[in-house]
Amino acid sequence: MKLLVTGGCGFIGSNFIRHVLGAHPEDRVVNLDRLTYAGNPANLADVEGDTRYAFVHGDICDAALVRDVARGVDAVVNLAASTHVDRSLMEPDEFLRTDVFGVFTLLEAVRDLKIPRLLHISTDEVYGSVEHGSSREGDALRPSNPYSASKAGGDLLALAYWQTHRVPVVITRSSNNFGPFQYPEKVIPLFVTNALEDTPLPLYGDGRNVRDWLYVLDNCAAIDLVLRRGKDGEVYNIGGGHEVENVVLTRQILRLTGKPETLIQPVRDRPGHDRRYALDSKKVQQLGWAPRHAFAAALEATVAWYREHEAWWRPLKSGEFRAYYARQYGRG
């Protein structure tokens, strides 16, 4: 297959491109990425010399460019997005632009060029907080912050293009990912690297919010399966099946880094903080997927990766990152 992957310099995108090039020797990948603060070419340094891989610096909202790079591909896999909830509370504009208008631009190109597949990557957060049970693909969308609302907008637009124009769209909605190359604003890499630096771990609210953790390579395998075997117009949940309260996760990270629990710093809760996400993943399991990485071992491997790749994350925690934290904690 010849793939256009958007957002390939981000966390999941870079892991996915490496997965595809490893698992499918005959595939070729063009990576279109705008290189925002979260996009890092170093995430793919090891595949730069691969003749099956090409990088294009650009924006998914640029219709002419998208058409140019999409021409002749067998599928578009959209991983380009603004992704951090806390940033969406302070600066929502970019979320609406990329996560809604960007999806629209891709849909128009896929429709126009008659590309056989658009796999759009979404999130469990579109279902909103789930106090009991687990979300199924047909459940109502009840997003509660500008990030999840813009992702829900992108999903609904994609499904509308399937209904009205039969644009061959497939959507995956995964739970929280963790693993190598995750920008250190998200809770696991933030807490691991803070612990390694002996700086406090800012735990929001009572620390009892629950997330369902999925190792990024398990998500890549699921995305790959849905790309090749998923049905047009369908949504597939991808859940890790491992729910943990934030405070429990924090203690595990401190144990793995050998640091004291006194580093835990309770801070003001995130406004509109979703209490719990949980997915019913039977549908993707019926396609033949199951997570292969046990949570404890994958978390241990992730901590070891950050310990061994200080040269990767340390520069990311200065400059833009510091300015963002000053904005976040200066907000009142």
Q: Which is nearer to ligand TYD, 31 or 177 (CB)?
A: 177
Name the binder of 203 from ligand TYD, ligand NAD, none, CB < 5-8 A by kind. ligand TYD
Residue type (1 letter), 108:
E
Residues 32-71 that bind ligand NAD (CB under 6 A): 33-36, 38-39, 59-61
CA distance 20 to 190: 27
Q: Which is nearer to ligand NAD, 211 or 259 (CB)?
A: 211
Query: In Å, what is the CA distance from 54 to each residue of 17, 59, 265?
Result: 11, 16, 43
Residue 277 near residue 212 (C-beta atoms within 8 A): yes
User: Strands 264-267 and 201-204, how do they pair?
Assistant: parallel
CA distance 70 to 232: 19
Q: Which is nearer to ligand NAD, 184 or 202 (CB)?
A: 184
Name the binder of 80 from ligand NAD, ligand TYD, none, CB < 5-8 A by kind. ligand NAD
DSSP summary character for residue 51: T
As annotated, the active-site residues are 124-125, 147
Name the binder of 79 from ligand NAD, ligand TYD, none, CB < 5-8 A by kind. ligand NAD
Name the binder of 11 from ligand TYD, ligand NAD, none, CB < 5-8 A by kind. ligand NAD
Which residue's C-beta sits nearest to ligand NAD? 10
Cα-Cα-Cα-Cα torsion 274, 258, 177, 289, nearest 10 degrees, comes to -120
Q: Is 135 in the site for ligand NAD (CB under 6 A)?
A: no
CA distance 246 to 199: 18
CA distance 194 to 189: 8
Q: Which is nearer to ligand TYD, 270 or 307 (CB)?
A: 270
Q: Which residues bind ligand NAD (CB under 6 A)?
A: 6-7, 9-13, 33-36, 38-39, 59-61, 79-83, 98, 102, 121, 123, 151, 174, 176-177, 183
